[in-house]
Chain A
Amino acid sequence: MIGAVPFGIIFGTLSGGAGLSAAGTIGMSLFVFAGSAQFIAVGLLGSGTMWPIIVLTTFIVNFRHLLYTATLLEYLKRLPRLWQVVLTFGLTDETFAVAAGRWLQDNGSPYKHWYQLGSMIFMYTNWNLCTLVGLVAGRMLQEIGGWGLDFAMVAAFIGMVIPYLKDKPTYAAVFAAGISALIFHGMPHKLGLIMAAVIGMTAGVSAERLWERH
């Protein structure tokens, strides 16, 4: 949970330089509430991408959240509709990590949905407060003159990719995605990004099988 603090602040800080208004930044944290997709949206906005492409990319990036609902389906199914809507709205990577641990614990506690709601509210508040702090910090830095701030996005993204680099297939996936992104760079509407993502995923999965066999 504390791990989300720098991310929220960094998101708020970078948004201004990418041309996202203060209202847009706050609105994104309030209504979208999805860390990596928000970062990627800001990155794409900074390079002048049109909004339908960003929405499409959000779909691809957040598609993994479907698995979270799938994992908790058995439990969520039994709750009233309003609970389902609220709990799935806040089903981020972090909430899932915390909530799944609790749901899958084999005791008959009838209050598990309250536990998930609690952790969700905590993270939601945290994420939005950090966005505000970052927003203010970012505007102040811009006034000072933005030293190296145009590089901040690249540095932040590199820092976010590194924790994923734990096994060979992930290296293969990232490497393939980087090369493809260069090859397809000239494609209109940043479609090269989506091509690169698909090729990267394929490379990761293929590499897994390759190394498993040996």
Chain B
Amino acid sequence: METLYLVAGMALVTFSIRYGLLPLSGRINISGRMRNALRYVPPVVLTAIIVPAVLYPNGQTFLHVSFNNAYLVGAIATVVIGKLSKNLLITIVCGMACFGLWQWILKMM
């Protein structure tokens, strides 16, 4: 049921944004400043999800900044790989491998 609400809600909201201007045609003006600010939305929202997921892994309540945090080490490695490779698939696969490797090393120690 929750899933149904979620998908229906997202569909409705998305369609309203894309279609909404047509019936209102001409009565809404979007300033250049607003236009410009919206450009930042995707990277900003993605970052705001990643950072807490990495520093508060598995629902922990304290900030986990240490080499014992495989998520943090994996994330740093992924950023470096992403910057160098500029390829999404390589970034994801190598990033996951680094995370897995570091988790394995931590278990061995």
Answer yes or no: A155 CB below 8 A from chain B CBs.
Answer: yes
The residues of B that contact A10 with a CB separation of less than 8 Å are: 92
The residues of A that contact B14 with a CB separation of less than 8 Å are: 32-34, 37, 58, 62, 65
CB proximity to B under 8 Å, residues A174-210:
174, 177-182, 185, 192-193, 196-197, 200-202, 204-205, 208
Answer yes or no: B66 CB below 8 A from chain A CBs.
Answer: no
A-B interface contact total, Cβ < 8 Å: 250
Let me know if B53 and A154 touch, CB within 8 A. yes
User: Given A6-B88, A59-B17, A164-B43, does the pair A158, B10 have CB atoms closer than 8 Å?
Assistant: no
Let me know if B52 and A182 touch, CB within 8 A. yes
Let me know if B50 and A54 touch, CB within 8 A. no
Interface-centre pick from A58, A91, A155, A160 (highest chain B CB count, 10 A): A155
- Distance between Cα atoms of A108 and B48 in the complex (Å): 45
Let me know if A43 and B19 touch, CB within 8 A. no
Chain A: CB-nearest residue to B6? A51
The residues of B that contact A180 with a CB separation of less than 8 Å are: 48
CB proximity to A under 8 Å, residues B4-41:
5-11, 13-15, 17-22, 25-26, 28, 30, 33, 35-41
Using CB atoms and an 8 Å cutoff, list the residues of chain B in contact with chain A: 2-3, 5-11, 13-15, 17-22, 25-26, 28, 30, 33, 35-56, 59, 63, 70-71, 74-75, 78-79, 82-83, 86, 88-89, 91-92, 95-97, 99-100, 103
Using CB atoms and an 8 Å cutoff, list the residues of chain A in contact with chain B: 6-7, 10, 20-21, 23-24, 27-28, 31-34, 36-41, 43-45, 47, 51-52, 54-55, 57-70, 73, 76-77, 84-85, 88-89, 91, 147-149, 151-165, 169-170, 173-174, 177-182, 185, 192-193, 196-197, 200-202, 204-205, 208
